[in-house]
Amino acid sequence: MNTYRKTVMDNGITVISEEIDRVRSLSLGVWVNCGSRNEEHKTNGAAHFIEHMLFKGTKRRTAFDIASEIDSVGGILNACTGKELTSFYVKIPDYHLPLAIDLLADLLKDSVFDPEEMEKEKSVILQEIRMVEDTPDDFIHDFFGKAFWDGHPLSLPVLGTEDSVRGIGRETLLDIFNRYYRGSRLVLTVAGRLRHNELVSLVGEALGSVTPAEGGNGQGAPTPVAKVAVLEKDLEQVHMIIGSPGHTFSDPARYAGFIMNTVLGGSMSSRLFQEVREKRGLAYAVHSYLVSYRDAGMFGIYVGTADEKVGEVLDVIFDELRKLKADLLTDKELFSAKEQIKGRFLLSMESTDTRMTRLAKNEIYLGRHLSFDEAIANLEAVSAEEVRGVARTLLNKDAVSVAAIGRVTERDITANMPDL
């Protein structure tokens, strides 16, 4: 039986564990309430830059020491920066928990931000930005976000821009690091074979000196902007995203959104995949997806197609959207979607990485533990009427935006935009 436990340290750091005795590994993550959303245009990319620099050396360890210590025990060390969160995580054999805590604490407390290493890493990040820009099916997401969240920090790309990254100095990184890598902005989660009391004791020794956090994030909720944005570029395909406002992470309606997304474009048996690819051969890749933040969300559809097929693809996609708004799902579709979501959820829960991540996000966004049974009960309670209601709310013709990159003009999109 898995055991969930939570402790809040005196300095505000939240420590959460899920004890799973049947495994011999553990996944440990430190989650920081800081991402690109906490930046301004001139500092865009700083959160991601900090993530890189924490691997470049501390007062006790060189960059090579950091990598080799984890490699020497067969472990995995990595990090990720998003719009709202930055995470540093380790997966190791269970008996190396003290090493994992000591290493992550060293990165969080005593990274040196060496100026020479900064310049080298800045060059690496600039290459990373160019790599994304050279990959249109990746870059389209940043391009859409800039238009959709226009004027709000959520519109900023996680990596930053070449201009903003070039302008970021050591003092900027240290200012953001000292402001956000503190107390109640840190959540440490572990899933695997461990004992919570031992974990708390180790965290207290390693991170007890971290100072409490001050202040909030100081941001209001974004207001999505409905528009058509086009970047004309000589590409083999036109890459498009059609998007509308979605649900926040804590919105109960998101369970109906999960089902709507699954039916529309969440798998190979979905309506969009079958209509756009299988029946008509209009695209190789087409799918829908959901993105949730603490006070906003987005529902999106991605498709890559030939430039002469843009109008036909838009017709097919909008026809499927109109059907979702007009008609109830059949009992078979509703049951199948629920089973698909449950099955994926169950399979993902075999991973301690997934469990560790869920512990963190539920704490950060919900402020509590959301059990598997509760999540499944919420999903099972969704009716076909609720799914149609969500479709009618989200797929409002005055709220839908389209972004496209390729051999296409804004006029090509607007002239072919069907009605919802």
Do 270 and 148 have their domain in common? Answer: no
The confidence band for 215, taking pLDDT boundaries of 50, 70 and 90, is low
Report residue 206: phi and psi, to 5°. Answer: -85, -35
- pLDDT higher than 80, residue 1: no
Contact 283, 328 (CB under 8 A): no
User: Is residue 214 one of the residues assigned to a domain?
Assistant: no
Q: Is residue 213 part of a domain?
A: no
Range 85-99 average pLDDT? 97
Question: Structure tokens of 86?
Answer: 């930055």
Same domain, 394 and 330: yes
- Write down the pTM of the prediction: 0.95
Convert the pLDDT of each residue in 98-138 to its tens digit: 999 999 999 999 999 999 999 999 999 999 999 999 999 99
pLDDT digits (tens, 9 = 90+) for 146-194: 999 998 999 999 999 999 999 999 999 999 999 999 999 999 999 999 9
262 shares its domain with 200: no
Residue that wins the pLDDT comparison between 214 and 323 = 323
* Same domain assignment for residues 201 and 128: yes
Average pLDDT over residues 77-102: 97
Q: Do 238 and 371 fall within a single domain? A: yes
How confident is the prediction for the chain on average, in pLDDT?
95
What is the per-residue pLDDT for 217? 62
CATH number for the domain that contains residue 24: 3.30.830.10
Whether residue 351 is contained in a domain is answered as yes
Residue 213 is predicted with a pLDDT of 81
pLDDT in tens, 315-363: 999 999 999 999 999 999 999 999 999 999 999 999 999 999 999 999 9
145 lies in the same domain as 261:
no
Do residue 358 and residue 388 come from a single domain? Answer: yes
Residues 131 and 171 occupy one common structural domain: yes
Residue 18 pLDDT exceeds 70: yes
Count of domains observed in the chain: 2
Pairing of strands 76-81, 228-232: unpaired
Rg over CA atoms, the chain = 23
Which residues are marked as active site? 51
pLDDT at residue 216 tops 70: no
